[in-house]
Structure 1
Amino acid sequence: MALINCKECGKEVSTEAKSCPHCGANLKNKTSDKYGKIAAFTIAGIIGFIVVLGIIGAVGQAFWPTKKNPSVDAKYMCEKLVKERLKSPATADFQSAHDFTAITTSGENSELQKIDNMADALSGILLGSSDISLIEKRLGYFMTPDVMDKLKTFHAQGKEQVAKGLLKSELVKLIKKSDFVVSGYVDAQNSFGANLRSQFVCILSSADGMSWSLDHMLMFP
């Protein structure tokens, strides 16, 4: 029989005793409570860990690249790239990701008609200005000098439909060289603090559905 000190009066008492013979303090219940609390904390910790893992998994599925849903990944990647080009990324307010247009451009699921429709709409928007310098600013960095010269010539001659047809054809070529094209809009402050809406188009490629590269990006008011 081992002896321990009573936590209430400090006198020696048997480990088998349920209560202290000197002061009457309850011994067994205190020990049980101690281990009960340890068990409760342990169970709570395990449950908390499982919940945290579940949250991390849910967030990862929604925002981190995964082969399961390349369309969602392409939208997320485009949003990330657009933010990097804004004057004030912290003020960025994107439309709902569900409203983004994401079109696959390769493989069996290639949506050729949607690509054609998007290129048609874009060409109209990009050429929808009487200011040729603005058009050149929008298109100059991804159109070849030869195509740019033709567009400027057609525009100067008032041949808007011819210019639009040429630009549409070039846009379709660019898009079809990639894997995904994503379009949408974002509201954000400019360098003067004014809130502006910009439309954007990201033309993306991915060799494995996990890592993405930006082929071309268009951003315009």
Structure 2
Amino acid sequence: MTTRSQAAPYLDGASVLHGELPIEIDMSPITFGAPYAYEEVVSDAADGFFAVWACDAGVYPRHKDRRGSFMYFTEGAGNIVDWDGTTHELTPGSILVLPYSWMGHWDIRETIRKVYVHSTPVPPLPVEPVPCTFVDAETVAGPLPEGGLVAFDGPDGSCLVTEVPEGQSRYDADEHARFLHLISGAAQVLGDDGTVLTLDAGSVVALNAGWSGVLSVTSPLRLLTVITTPDPRG
């Protein structure tokens, strides 16, 4: 069952990993393959678009000329191919960042499902094509460096994987949004506005700019966090 909160939009783990994705997305342009993808929107705000998405097999050329994209894959198989032919194998548990100005194509072999964030990049922006950033599933699941694994840090935002022990972590209100995906573990979000959300493995939650409160970890987390800055155009 889909679970929501207006104060900090979220989906429980079952909805993220296995839930119905009711919104149909036109996949044009298409070289060949499924004409539509499907998604469930978690949050659509000035500081980021957060959703769960799935698409069947196909080849899809793309040019990131409006925004950057941060992705964590929960199922499926395929490749992402940069404009210069550099290829990365997409598997469950891997992270992909397609920054503003990326060019290339998707080659999906088995239905891919992902959690993703679209962000508005902060100028100055690149004018030449840029490569994707990819972190394989073994690295994401393996031992993390002190302070966590920084998968990306650039004009589009930042993306990191951390281990969070039991206890409470404070989030004070600022100009950034934080989009969280619990790879494993369990926690509660305790908003200063009185919001209480219970998160299990697979859950996602959007802590939009200006949100404040506590992440109370009840079972140690492996946590994916995407941090963005709101679009100044509102």
Output the TM-score relative to the length of structure 2. 0.21
> Which protein has the bigger helix share?
1
Output the TM-score relative to the length of structure 1. 0.21
Structure showing greater radius of gyration is 1
